[in-house]
Amino acid sequence: MLFRQSRYLPHVERQNGTYFVTLRLAGSVPKLIIEGWKSEREDIQQNAKRQNRQHTKYEKERLNYLYSKRIENYLDEGYGDCWLKNPKIAQLVIETLKYFDRKRYSLHAWCIMPNHVHVVFNVISTGPESLSDLSPILHSWKSFTAHKANIILSREGKFWQDEYYDHLIVSDAEFAHFVHYTLNNPVKARFCKDWFEWRWTGCSEEIRGLLAD
């Protein structure tokens, strides 16, 4: 198991791990709002540290909300530049995700929303346990798509937010939850009535077979 701490989020990884990942466009969540959420998270963490105790159940739930659910709800409102609404860019992202499928990782489900992307996949580990296989994959996705998307948009500058959200999936129940969440994000955002109606949502043949059962 590997633990990393980035500027905003803690990351937990393991070899051949299965992850739910969210990539956000630059500007999709304003810096001021992120800093506010960060401040609240730090208050919770410091309070537990001062009292020399573990987080309470409520604090754990609140931290999870601040790390993921609150941001997800904000993203679904469609703030910022929604460059992923451009069909060429949405297709670019999907093709990039699929490029090393079954080689460096195995894709299970994905969804391209106007200002963010969800992916459920498992890493095919190649290095020692002390090294991260997740970070290079995400860096590759972001770097390649940012360069190509900026060409399509005739712009320069940051395309993705530096920070991303990742969650190590540790049970079948969690796996089912995150696959369902990913596929149904456009339904939740009221873009369509069924997940398969959204052109930029997809899943592996294995998941599609399970959904058909």
pLDDT, tens digit only, all 213 positions of the chain? 444 444 444 456 577 889 999 998 987 766 656 666 566 667 777 877 887 878 677 666 666 655 555 566 666 666 678 999 999 999 999 999 999 999 999 999 999 999 999 999 999 987 666 556 888 999 999 999 999 999 999 999 999 988 788 888 989 999 999 999 999 999 998 999 999 999 999 999 999 988 877
Q: Is residue 64 part of a domain?
A: yes
CATH number, domain containing residue 114: 3.30.70.1290
Residue 45's contacts (CB-CB under 8 Å, 6 or more residues apart) are 55, 63
Tell me if 7 is assigned to some domain. no
- pLDDT of 29 reads 67
Q: Are 22 and 38 in a shared domain?
A: no
Number of domains in the chain: 2
pLDDT score at 105: 95
| Tokens 């959420």 found at | 37
- Domain hosting residue 138, numbered range: 12-28+81-212
pLDDT at 10: 47
Q: Quickly list H helices, the chain.
A: 31-50, 57-64, 70-75, 87-99, 134-153, 172-188, 205-212
25: which strand partners?
160
Cα 106 from chain centre: 15
* Same-domain pairing of 101 and 201: yes
